Chains A and B, each alone.
Chain A
């Protein structure tokens, strides 16, 4: 009996210790940071659809302009999604954004132009040219801004 109780006590002890030392999960950001993270994820989803069309389901190239326009619409919202001081421990946004907000905003403008070019190319039905425009949009539109204004791999 004594051994059984010791064993039970040990289990309870370990359980309590685990609970008390467990690091609480960081809450997903809410407010403007939560919105912009959710919005950025929608861009990733459109990018995934564009990749699937341009590398696999190429006969669906007529669907490219819709995804491109959706990205373009979001690009138009990027400047207001990053108001001054909108930081969060879970945010990857670098303070450099607000040191030169005009430059940051110009990247969103650049993305708008590049997706417009992609939509236009895809309307012509040329898959290879669309793929090239897609790559340029990703590198210069998405990558160009992330390189400067987003935290590197955490």
Chain B
């Protein structure tokens, strides 16, 4: 028995204890624009757009709470997660973070203190984001009204004993999870594809983090990329998430125009309007993009591989 073959199962066992069902876009969004000090400067407007497509408020703003001061709890098979305060309050928010610290948090899932985040925070998608978008996002986040509000600690559960709370802080084991399932990456355009396709790919795979809900997960809570975008029976708060590939259960009967229009106002080809979390993704996110970006997202989604 080799050393690797011993370590691997050990790491895997540790990881399963803490693997987190990342809950993608969670809680209710409120219009965060009210809290923005309006200035016409470009990075601020651009950063607000990045925040919109990233859906920050969907998780980090509570239904009855101040914008981005911490979201409603997200219930998952791995426990209950409290999206933290990301206003610029220095004590309880992310005020005072350097650009480097912010980028490391977003792209590598490591806090300024050096601790790994639970993958309920979708850094495994944000790792594809570029510097410009992240820095503009930070400009905008820094402009939000600071709110002093401490974030509750997450309550971890082990899927094998769901009635038991994890009796100790298992965050250290996240290193194992990362070792198994995470590789910092950056979006690389595919030169064989169109500019539109590549723009769509960036938005979907990076800031839009669509896979976090639409791609099923393995027992460790990591995305199963072999079945990318084929939907999930257990989305955030137990909701069923649809298949968005061109496969038989997917959206092969939607035209690019149908999809582009869907991302504008939320109407599906049958005349009905989308609800739940996706309504927030559209209303607070894709509706604020340009027509060209919506068409780009549609072009990329229609070209997703079918397994």
Contact = CB atoms under 8 A, between A and B. Distances in A.
Interface of A: 43-48, 51, 55, 131, 134-135, 138-139, 142-143, 146-147, 152-153
Contact of B265 (A44, A46, A135, A146): A135
Interface string B245-274: 000000000000100010011110111111
Contacts of B276: 147, 152
22 contacts: A43-B271, A44-B271, A47-B271, A47-B272, A48-B270, A55-B257, A55-B261, A135-B266, A135-B267, A138-B266, A138-B267, A139-B265, A139-B266, A139-B273, A139-B283, A143-B266, A143-B272, A143-B273, A143-B274, A146-B273, A152-B240, A153-B242
Given A51-B267, A55-B261, A146-B273, 9 more contacts: A44-B271, A45-B271, A48-B271, A138-B265, A139-B273, A139-B279, A143-B272, A152-B240, A153-B242
Contacts of B239: 152
A46 B271 CA distance: 8
B267 A47 contact: yes
B275 interface: yes
Contacts of B261: 51, 55
Contacts of B273: 138-139, 142-143, 146
A147 B271 contact: no
Interface of B: 239-240, 242, 257, 261, 264-267, 269-276, 279, 283
A146 B275 contact: yes
Nearest to B265: A135
A135 B276 CA distance: 16
Contacts of B242: 153
A44 B270 contact: yes
Nearest to B241: A153
A143 B271 contact: no
Contacts of A46: 271
A139 B272 CA distance: 9
Contacts of B271: 43-48, 51
Contacts of B257: 55
A134 B271 CA distance: 11
B213 to A, nearest CB: 13
Contacts of B270: 44, 48
Contacts of B279: 139, 143, 147
Nearest to B266: A139
A51 B261 CA distance: 9
A25 to B, nearest CB: 19
A152 B267 CA distance: 16
Contacts of A131: 265
Contacts of A48: 269-271
B240 A153 contact: yes
Contacts of B240: 152-153
A8 to B, nearest CB: 34
A152 B222 CA distance: 25
A146 B267 contact: no
Contacts of B265: 131, 134-135, 138-139
A46 B269 CA distance: 12
B263 to A, nearest CB: 12
Ranked 10 nearest A-B pairs via Cβ: A47-B271, A44-B271, A135-B265, A143-B273, A147-B275, A138-B273, A142-B273, A44-B270, A153-B240, A48-B271
